[in-house]
Amino acid sequence: MLFPKFSPSRNIVIGRFSFVSRPALLSADLSPIAHLEALARKSPSFKNFKLESVVKSVPERIVVRGVLDGKPVYVKRLLGPRADQRIRGMMAELDFAVARMNDTDSRVAGFVAADPEAGLIALQLAPGRPMDAAIRLAQRERREQLLGMGGSWLTQFTRLRCRTVSFDAERTLGPLQDPTEITNPLDLARWQRLAAWQDERINELRGSKLSIAASHGDFHPGNLRVQGSTIHAFDIEGETWMPILRDCVTFLLHVQDHLPQTGSATHMGIAVDSALPFLSALDLSKDEKEQLLPVFMARRLANALVKRQQRPKILHFARFVTDNLLREMA
């Protein structure tokens, strides 16, 4: 998607909100959070923002929670090159999705203010209860209903812009992490078995039909809120064309990491009571669910075994799912 260039001296109006573009000249001695607050004070769109807590501060972005003009919001400041273009992309994407989904039970929370030149955007805090908390507290029937609602939301969102391509591991699967950082010999054996199984299946499945879409990009219960039978999604950063199966894997592994089920019956390495309600709500072909999804799951798990070596609290979940998947695929 292409966006027009804007002159820093113009007063710009996009959609419902206006802002003034101008370069931000602030002291380099400020901390990232203080820098964000100073930028907000200088921006007409953010002058009434009150910071409540810091959610994330990493080199590429800062995320804080607060109140803007009486409304609870998440404010992001994107850092690095082309931050202004990325903010404009988020604005266009959110307006596109809100306009097409907010008459259904699968909805999108929009933004309430933005200043691209400062790299700032305020995302609406969707109503309802966080979905991961709702799942954690739910009885079995309601839990399965909620997981199915997650699958329905992903189906509705990806239908907005979707096409079919031929499966090609190099273009659609993502890179395989080098295992040199794996220090545990049992984890290295797991990685080697996953890698060998992937190589075999990739050759067999090359050219299979694969659905890709302008996707959420970080789809999991932590970015969803539940209000009765309605799901509101937020933190949609922009148009990210990718296989829908990647979002499926992200969702299922988040559920297993944060809302684990411990039964012996599994599907794709995930507890059946978690995996099947979600997958059954997805509008994907049988071949994608049964043939391609295990390959995407295996790739993510192999990479998780590398990345989680220094994070034992979540490493054991990757081991659990890996052992289950390898047993299923044997």
CB atoms under 10 Å from CB of 246, counted, come to 21
Least confident of 152-161, 236-245, 251-260: 236-245
- Rounded to whole angstroms, the Cα distance separating 137 from 172 reads 36
Q: Is the pLDDT higher at 238 or at 268? A: 268
Show which of 106, 124, 142 is a domain's final residue. 124
Please give the average per-residue pLDDT across 245-254, as a whole number: 95
Using the predicted structure, report yes or no on whether residue 170 has a pLDDT greater than 60: yes
CA distance 261 to 271: 6
Question: 102-127 pLDDT, tens per residue?
Answer: 888 999 999 999 999 999 999 998 88
Domain that holds residue 148: 129-329
Mean pLDDT for 79-99 is 91
Could you tell me which residues come within 8 angstroms of residue 12 by beta carbon, excluding any fewer than 6 positions away?
6, 18, 19, 20, 21
Mean pLDDT of 293-314: 96
Residues 322 and 200 in one domain: yes
Number of domains in the chain: 2
Residue 4 falls inside a structural domain: no
Reply yes or no on whether the pLDDT at 14 is more than 50. Answer: no
Are the C-beta atoms of 187 and 177 separated by less than 8 Å?
A: no
Tokens of 132: 């991961």
pLDDT bin (cut points 50, 70, 90) of residue 32 is: confident
Q: Are residues 139 and 103 in the same domain?
A: no
Q: What is the CATH number of the domain that holds 113?
A: 3.30.200.20
pLDDT of 30: 57
Give the separation between CA 69 and CA 129, rounded to whole angstroms. Answer: 22
